[in-house]
Amino acid sequence: MTIDQAEIEATKVLDILLGWLVSSQFYAQIGAIILAVAIAHFVNRQIKAKTPYFKSQPEQGPLLKARRWLYSCRDLLFPIFCVLMLAIAVQVAEGSVGSSWLVRFAQSIAVIGVLYAAIKRFVRHPLINAAARWIGIPIATLQVFGVLDNVSLYLDSVSLEAGNIRLSLYTLAKAAVFGGVLFWLGRLSNDAGQKVIRKQEALDIPTRELLAKIFQIGLFVLLFILLLQVLGLDLTALTIFGGALGVGLGFGLQQIASNFISGMILLFERSMKVGDYVEVGGGMAGTLREINMRSSTLHTGDGKEIMVPNEKFITSAFVNWTKSDPLQRFEVAFTVPYDTDIHKIPDLVQAAAAKHPYILARPSGPSCDIKQFGDKGIQFGLTYWVTGSNGYGSDVHFLVWDTLKEAGIALGPLK
């Protein structure tokens, strides 16, 4: 647009504005809008003040939930009454001055106000609330003012074509909106589906985890195909996408692909399962909580959660303390001086350890043996079996200390 054309358009707009300012129809419609809003405000105040359902928050009585929900609608009363009063004002303006475009414009704004009040009151989820306010309301505004189709056509005209694929701003906008909605619903469905699968006690834990992972992958593949259908893209575009994905894997996504495939191998191979106590190199150890697409989660005894890449379980050695046998053997070492009567120590310590509630009698009971003759004393080792990865080391050390102290036997340094 040239400067002369811009001046011509600006002159036209200025003439229209001046025409409104000297038009009696314009001021009549402004008066109708003010009167309609004033009546709506008056009716809103009267209903809130005199209707029990809107006057105060109900605390007890029959149909409490329904009454509380009705009370929560009180914020919608004023914009709704504005829409109704402005609808009447439209008819009055048409009949009296033969024009109602400004009143209709005000009514459209009131409709947007109703939508905004409803979102603010009833949509509690922060993500959905933000999407409704920043995406839903602008779209509704365009629709109310009758320009949505024109905007859609303009966005669709700005496009990029590559072979059989045509991408426009309109397509990208739809992808953002519908993609967000679909994958948000997919996440909710995935969480619900995995909870149902993991509650199937008839299946063992590895089978449940494998089915949960297959369900997750299948669900998101289905959502991706649905998104392509919503966008009107040909499914043959998947071949191009697959080629691009292959190039991406070749250049920079090897680790992601490796971890994903490693996670699937772990689930199929069942070398570890949720609930196992796993020890990996680098001092990482904990109870396996979940096997995700990229990493597995270990929950440590001090409340931390360690995210270990799945590839680490495939390419390096790790210890699964509870894979097939939950029974574990532990040892507590202690030293006594050379002048001690060592013959009575095994019986004393074994009898005391056998009374511990978590030390097992099978596959063998507690056993106390001489390990070596050290420089500063005779070293003993108390071995015992427990269930799980907790060796109760502190309890057993206290037990050995109290038992020997009661017998008048002193403890020496280990080295």
180 and 81 housed in the same domain: no
Say yes or no to pLDDT of 146 above 80: no
pLDDT (tens digit per residue) in 25-68: 777 878 888 898 899 889 888 888 887 777 777 667 666 677 77
CATH of the domain at 373: 3.30.70.100
- Tell whether 265 is covered by a domain: no
313 and 340 housed in the same domain: no
Q: Give the span between the Cα atoms of 396 and 294, in whole angstroms.
A: 39
pLDDT (tens digit per residue) in 370-404: 888 888 888 999 899 888 777 778 888 899 898 88
- Tell whether 293 is covered by a domain: yes
283 and 173 housed in the same domain: no
Say yes or no to pLDDT of 1 above 60: no
User: What is the structure's pLDDT at 139?
Assistant: 77
Q: Give the span between the Cα atoms of 367 and 354, in whole angstroms.
A: 9
DSSP class of residue 193? H
User: What is the structure's pLDDT at 15?
Assistant: 58
Residue 17: pLDDT band (50, 70, 90) is low
313 and 354 housed in the same domain: no
Number of domains present in the structure of the chain = 4
Average pLDDT, the chain: 78
- Tell whether 238 is covered by a domain: yes
Question: By mean pLDDT, which of 111-120, 249-258, 263-272 is the weakest?
Answer: 249-258
Q: Give the span between the Cα atoms of 132 and 228, in whole angstroms.
A: 23
Which residues, 6+ apart, have CB-to-CB distance to 182 below 8 Å?
Answer: 223, 226, 227, 230
30 and 133 housed in the same domain: yes
Give the 3-state secondary structure of 331-398.
EEEEEECCCCCHHHHHHHHHHHHHCCCCCCCCCCCCEEEEEEECCCCEEEEEEEEEECCCCCHHHHHH
**183-194: average pLDDT:** 78
User: What is the structure's pLDDT at 324?
Assistant: 67
pLDDT (tens digit per residue) in 287-327: 888 877 778 888 887 778 888 888 888 888 887 777 766 78
With H, G, I as helix, E, B as strand and everything else as coil, classify residue 407: coil
296 and 213 housed in the same domain: no
pLDDT (tens digit per residue) in 229-243: 766 665 565 565 666
Range of the domain at 282: 274-320
Say yes or no to pLDDT of 410 above 60: yes
- What does 210-261 look like in DSSP terms, one character per residue? HHHHHHHHHHHHHHHHHHHHHHT--TTHHHHHHHHHHHHHHHT-HHHHHHHH
- Tell whether 2 is covered by a domain: no
More confident site: 41 or 20: 41
309 and 337 housed in the same domain: no
DSSP class of residue 168? E
- Tell whether 396 is covered by a domain: yes
**347-366: average pLDDT:** 87
